Amino acid sequence: MRYIRILRPQQWYKNLVVFLALVYSGNLLNLSLFQGTVLGFVSLCLISSSGYILNDVLDRRYDKRHPEKSKTPIASGEISVINAVLYAATLLVIGLVLAFYLNLYFLSSMVLLFVLTLLYSIFIKHIAFLDILVIAINFVIRAVSGAYLINVYISPWLIMCPFFLSLFLSAGKRRAESLFASRFKPVLKAYTKEITSTLIVITATILILTYTLYTMSVNETLMFTLPIVLYGIFLYLGFIFKNEKVARYPFLVFKDYRMITIIVFWIIITVLVLY
């Protein structure tokens, strides 16, 4: 079980953006392309988990002092550093071999994703503001890799929407983390309440504008999804400014019935409109 925990499967939701190109290009019902994208998702999960493990190895001394992360397998000593590194290397090799099997462009994006993740773990995460920008770039790489899998045009919207969504989530996470554990992580001291509140408002505004412009320019019928998207963003803003745990751990939105309802309705309406 501990070897499953260090994979951080709760973080795999980020890799679902690989399906965006498939859905919005009208190829969701194409079985061969769907299967290829599923394999791409698996590759992404393996490579992402490899990066998470190496990050935990590098962060183990900090995590030992953290009230929540001290219970993780590597920080608590349940899994040795050597075993963790070997495990990460195995996952990385399997993920890259699978990516190579799918296509070279996808492989290139996976290599870039892993390199940026490794650089983030080594030093970028200690540089305020650059850290959340790199997280957002990695989010975009995931989305663009989905277009490489099915060989379709990479729309600017496929870059902008995931980018600003990630920035919004990251800004909210940094605000919550700075209030909870800034004494354990010096870089969080740069993320004051005032700065993070401004970042959250800016990124939320740009995210809403970007999605609105997308629906107006590509498919006006998709504007029916705007109220749902707005409600989801407003609800998440509530999580952030109430300093709820979900702001520190965005995957917890999948345990909130309101957010689950929003996501399901958004998916249903989007699919009905496009197909």
Give the contacts of 226 (CB within 8 A, at least 6 positions apart): 211, 212, 215
Q: What percent of the chain has pLDDT over 70?
A: 99
Q: Are 57 and 80 in contact (CB under 8 A)?
A: no
Mean pLDDT value of segment 102-118 = 96
**pTM (2 d.p.):** 0.93
Of 58-67, 80-89, 108-117, 254-263, where does mean pLDDT reach its minimum?
58-67
Residue 169 has pLDDT above 70, yes or no: yes
- The per-residue pLDDT for 110 is 97
Distance of CA 175 to the CA centre of its chain: 17
Domain ranges of the chain: 1-154, 155-275
Confirm if 141 and 16 have CB atoms less than 8 A apart: no
Report the topology of domain 1-154.
Tetracycline Repressor; domain 2 (1.10.357)
pLDDT digits 0-9 by tens, 121-162: 999 999 999 999 999 999 999 999 999 999 999 999 999 999
Which runs of consecutive H residues, i.e. helices, occur in 59-80?
60-65, 73-76
Q: How much is the average pLDDT of 83-102?
A: 96
Alpha helices in the chain (DSSP H): 2-5, 20-24, 31-58, 60-65, 73-76, 81-102, 104-122, 130-150, 156-181, 193-218, 226-241, 245-248, 257-274
Return the ∠ at Cα 206 (arms to 219 and 235), rounded to 5°. Answer: 90
Handedness of CA 244, 247, 253, 257 (dihedral sign): positive
Percentage helix, strand, coil for the chain under 3-state DSSP, each rounded to 5? 85, 0, 15
